[in-house]
Amino acid sequence: MWPFKSKYDKLKREDVVAAIIDLEKQESDLEETIMSKIQQINDLMEKGKNEPNRDLKLFYAKKLNHLKEEKENDVKRGMYLLYNIRLMKKLKDAIDDNQFFVNAGKVSLGNLLGDQKGLAKFLNKALNTKVRAEDVLTSADETFAEIQGSYEENQTIYGVNDNDDQLLAIFETGSQLDEEVGADSESNAAKPAGLQE
């Protein structure tokens, strides 16, 4: 173990997050600048194409080349910022991971999982509790099945009474008549015109 602390040990998560926010703001501003220059380049291209005066065309060409150089430099700066942001986010994740595992280690590994005999006792107790709880559920399920198996539907509510029976007969008769009429129509259509009834 080193006798002195690393500068990363003193690093605070809040400082890294603040740095990321600052870099993202710079990157966003730079992106707006790049988009503005692209628009200027497109406008100058149109002007140059439509300009009849050769001197003005030369002026637009020089201005275009200068803008293109600036845009390329801005794009490189933007890429640098993006790379920097990516690395800072990795650093933030490492800080988060370190803090998480330090805190988790203090609670679980150090105090709880170190006592193997106590752990075995607890796990057996937990298993017995689980078995008892499952037995209660399966017994209840069997009781449901037994009682529901003896259930008979109330025929007054769910069965067919005389009025229902009459309506069902009308429905069936009506559908039979429709079928017969449909069959007669088909057979008449199949006969020659002179033989139809």
Domain locations in the chain as residue ranges:
13-114
pLDDT tens profile 46-76: 988 888 888 888 999 999 999 999 999 999 9
Where does residue 40 rank: exposed (0-12), middle (13-18), buried (19+ CB within 10 A)?
middle
| pLDDT tens per residue across span 124-140 | 888 888 889 889 889 98
Rounded Cα gap, residues 197 and 185, in angstroms? 10
